[in-house]
Amino acid sequence: MVEDCFREARITDELRPGSIKKYGSSIKNFLELLGPKNLTDLNNRDFGHYILEMKSRGASNVRIANVIAAMKWLIARLWEKGATFPSLDLLAVRKPKAVKKETNYLTEREVAQFLDTVQDDTSRRSTVKGGRFMAFTMLLLQTGARIGEALSINRANIDRENKEIQIVGKGGKPRTLFLRDETLHWIDRYLAVREDDEPALFACQDGTARWKQTDAGRSFKRYKDRSGIKKHFVIHTFRHTFATMYLMKGAGINVVQTALGHSDPVTTLKYYAAAVEKAKVRETINDRHFDFIPSSLLASRSLPNNCHLSQ
């Protein structure tokens, strides 16, 4: 029955392949920690025991909450199939509070620094490898697409006349990626050096299969290390960068929501409002229009290098 739950999730696209893999890993982790026990014998104390044991091992609340969410998903699906859990009240199962991290994104200077690193590599010689990563990065930065969404695109999906790509996003929801001329330019440069018939827009180097997420991750790490950017960021940060930059520059929340494929603007606000407001506060604090301290007392203008203001 468990296998049927995952099989149906694949058929209906209720869960993306990556999510199915994570859910499977989480459920395995939960059951292995509890030891030998039938699923239908689970009770609320088992969930409490799992949470306390994982905390004692140093697991983060986010990690624990993700595992609990996976178990709740599985149990709900098994219920639908007629399984009974007489000792379990799923509504009473609580997850530990996860402190939301501030959304990470790249500044305009950091975006330029990263792209310059990739372009420097591609300018020396026109290769499938370099052109592919440049086109891939531009697509992510300019559309806000998720990694899996970008890798699922086929060449035939590109509507050049309308400069858009129809994709199936998270949860099986169709949406449109809107392209800028510069993104199409880099896609065309990449395709121009391809000599294969692989339908995938992003293919492995020998053109025999679709480019995999793990391989994209290795390429990303290489360019990240070369770029010299000290900030911690991952490929998914490009999606955050797209959303944050557009909101900072005045794009409407509904526009960004639609571009990202969020079904509710509240989701978009939840992720990006704090980052945008923080950036606006930083800009305002450093705006000379708001100066009220005498310029003669500003440390950056008048104090010797070895002099410090007392607290």
- Asked if residue 194 lies in contact with residue 128, where contact means CB atoms within 8 angstroms, the answer is yes
The answer to whether position 23 is within a domain reads: yes
Q: Which tokens go with 10?
A: 């694949």
The pLDDT value recorded for residue 300 is 54
Same domain, 205 and 72: no
Rounded CA separation 259/144 (Å): 7
- Asked if residue 187 lies in contact with residue 143, where contact means CB atoms within 8 angstroms, the answer is no
Is residue 291 packed enough to be buried (19+ CB in 10 Å), middle (13-18) or exposed (0-12)? exposed
Same domain, 210 and 162: yes
Positions in the chain whose pLDDT score sits under 70: 99-100, 125-126, 298-311
**3-state per-residue secondary structure call for 156-177:** HHEECCCCEEEEECHHHCEEEE
Matching residue, tokens 């299969």: 209
Q: How many CB atoms lie within 10 A of CB 138?
A: 22
**3-state per-residue secondary structure call for 62-89:** HHHHHHHHHHHHHHHHHHHCCCCCCCCC
In three-state secondary structure terms, 210 is: strand
Range of the domain at 18: 2-92
CATH of the domain at 238: 1.10.443.10
Same domain, 23 and 68: yes
Of 44, 60, 92, the position where a domain reaches its end is 92
The pLDDT value recorded for residue 302 is 46
The pLDDT value recorded for residue 307 is 47
The answer to whether position 223 is within a domain reads: yes
Q: Which tokens go with 38?
A: 């039938």
The pLDDT value recorded for residue 185 is 95
Same domain, 115 and 16: no
The pLDDT value recorded for residue 269 is 83
Same domain, 182 and 277: yes
**Residues ≥6 apart with Cβ < 8 Å to 247:** 253, 256, 272, 276
CATH of the domain at 50: 1.10.150
Look at the chain and report how many structural domains it folds into: 2
Same domain, 81 and 209: no
The pLDDT value recorded for residue 100 is 66
The pLDDT value recorded for residue 29 is 93
Same domain, 190 and 112: yes
